[in-house]
Amino acid sequence: SYILILKAVSQLASWKERLKVFSTCVGHICVVLAFYVPLVGLSVVHRLGNIYILVPAVLNPIICGVRTKQTQRILISI
């Protein structure tokens, strides 16, 4: 349904009208995501009981890698 809405918005004549309607659509999509993303996340955690153990283990190397690159940039700039 969102694709049909975006298609209809893109066919509006005025750029200002498109922007106004699109901003309303984006607000609606954000509200829907704010409610459905946690719901889906909780469903996945409930379905896969050990995911809360796996996620930090997977994310830790990624976060450390980003921090290391930031630290290297800071040290190089000094």
pLDDT at 53: 72
How many whole angstroms separate alpha carbon 64 and alpha carbon 48?
Answer: 26
Query: What's this model's pTM, rounded to 2 decimal places?
Result: 0.43
pLDDT at 4: 84
pLDDT beneath 50: ranges in the chain: none
How many whole angstroms separate alpha carbon 65 and alpha carbon 78?
Answer: 20
The DSSP element (H or E) to which 50 belongs, if any, is: none
pLDDT at 71: 74
Question: Over pLDDT 90: what percentage of the chain?
Answer: 0
